[in-house]
Amino acid sequence: MPRFWSYLKFLFRSTNQHGVHSPFVFAYLTRCLYKRGPGPGERSQKIVLKSIAYFNFRSLHLSGDHQNLRALLKEQYPNLTYGDPPYDLVVISREMIVRVDFNSLLSQCHNDSMILVDDLHKGKKERSIWETLCRDPRITVSIDYYFGGLLFLRREQVKQHFRIRI
């Protein structure tokens, strides 16, 4: 039941593209995330697939068990490289968020990298890690979409946090 109330609170505090005052995030939402894309599947998988195409990502790091996602990626993006830093895209599964060394991970990313953290509202520890990441000065854009979160390291961007309904 607490997760239900947490979700209602998120819905009340979140917005869509019309509440976003960042040209980068607005374009990402309207030209990528809100466009129709892959059929049925997990929300995070759809975001990964759309983001790879939108940002033209080439190097990927998957932290945790992502067998379904790996199969989709090999089918749709056979030229992606895995495990070679610097990473364009990092996907962290819900079971790995408490185990990942984020200082080391962030040092292996670049200015245009994106980090997807899956299921950040799973529990208090996950939310605490997420909030710590959002405060990190290297992270300039954070997007909480309740079922996960997106982090960007864009140095040219003013630090902003968004709660977005996707």
Summarised one tens digit per residue, pLDDT across range 65-80 is 888 888 889 999 999 9
By the 8 A CB rule, do 164 and 14 touch?
Answer: yes
Distances (CA, A) of 20 to 24, 28, 47, 50, 51: 10, 11, 18, 20, 18
Per-chain mean pLDDT for the chain? 87
Domain ranges of the chain: 2-163
Task: Give residue-wise pLDDT tens across range 21-46.
Answer: 789 999 999 999 988 876 667 888 99
102 — phi, psi (to 5°)?
-70, -30
Question: Could you tell me how far CA 89 lies from the centroid of its own chain?
Answer: 9
Q: For position 6, what pLDDT does the model report? A: 74
* pTM for this predicted structure: 0.89
Query: Per-residue pLDDT for 20 more than 80?
Result: no
Percent helix, strand, coil in the chain, to 5, is 40, 25, 35
Torsion angle (degrees, nearest 10) of CA 34, 37, 40, 44: -60
Task: Give residue-wise pLDDT tens across range 138-161.
Answer: 999 999 998 899 999 999 999 999
Rg of the Cα atoms in the chain: 15
Look at the domain 2-163 and name its fold.
Answer: Rossmann fold (3.40.50)
CA distance 164 to 166: 6
CA–CA–CA angle 84, 94, 81 (5° rounding)? 20
